[in-house]
A and B are shown apart, each in its own frame.
Chain A
């Protein structure tokens, strides 16, 4: 079955960068976009962007543009989301997810990123 396994929690200082991984299994990795979302403490869900694992092409939300980079290593079925110039309001749980138009969404378990001096 479809599984998305994310890397562990991170604590970073303001101005640093963080790279979160999302390892896919149970389907053809290059066949579906990987989306990244985040949720700040007590807040709603926000879409950050998406990665085409086949081509490496990306689309980012305007708010994320310039600080986020999404990449992949198709040889190990893994997608990455890197966020730079971290601020305290980047503290959130970051989720990767896959959409199959014929069977719906599958989400990873989330990765907590804490930005604190």
Chain B
């Protein structure tokens, strides 16, 4: 299986900040990488697919980049509603795998 490693595992930031979460794949996955946001008690919400494409309806404050094994999710102009846990996911192989998650708290 392809292993996905996210960092940091948690972070705390202030309203208005810009934050970056990284995700590393154990092997080349091209751009078959998605990012999700999840809040307690809710289903994951899709943010980014194909590493850098914004899912319909997702605000442009979210952006993704990367290729092969190194990827980043950047959130600009942090707002209180952006708290939650963020997951990366590779779908290059049929055996889909997720990162362990990054918990984002708002100070």
Task: Report yes or no: A44 in contact with B91, Cβ–Cβ below 8 A.
Answer: no
Q: Which of A66-117 contact B (CB under 8 A)?
A: 95, 99, 101, 103-110
Q: Does A45 interact with chain B (Cβ within 8 Å)?
A: yes
Q: How far is the CB of B67 from chain A (nearest CB, A)?
A: 16
- Selecting from B11-19, B70-78, B97-105, the interface stretch reads B97-105
Interface size class of B (residues with CB under 8 A): 20 to 34
Taking A104-B49, A108-B43, A110-B43 as contacts, is the C-beta distance between A47 and B34 under 8 angstroms?
no
- Could you tell me how many residues of chain A have their Cβ less than 8 Å away from some Cβ of chain B? 21
Beyond A95-B44, A108-B43, 8 additional pairs, beta carbon < 8 A: A37-B96, A44-B99, A45-B89, A103-B56, A104-B46, A104-B55, A107-B44, A110-B43
Give the 9 A-B residue pairs with the shortest CB-CB distance, closest first.
Answer: A104-B49, A47-B96, A105-B46, A45-B98, A104-B55, A107-B43, A110-B43, A59-B94, A44-B101
Chain B residues proximal to chain A, CB less than 8 Å: 34, 36, 43-46, 48-50, 53, 55-56, 87, 89, 91, 94-101
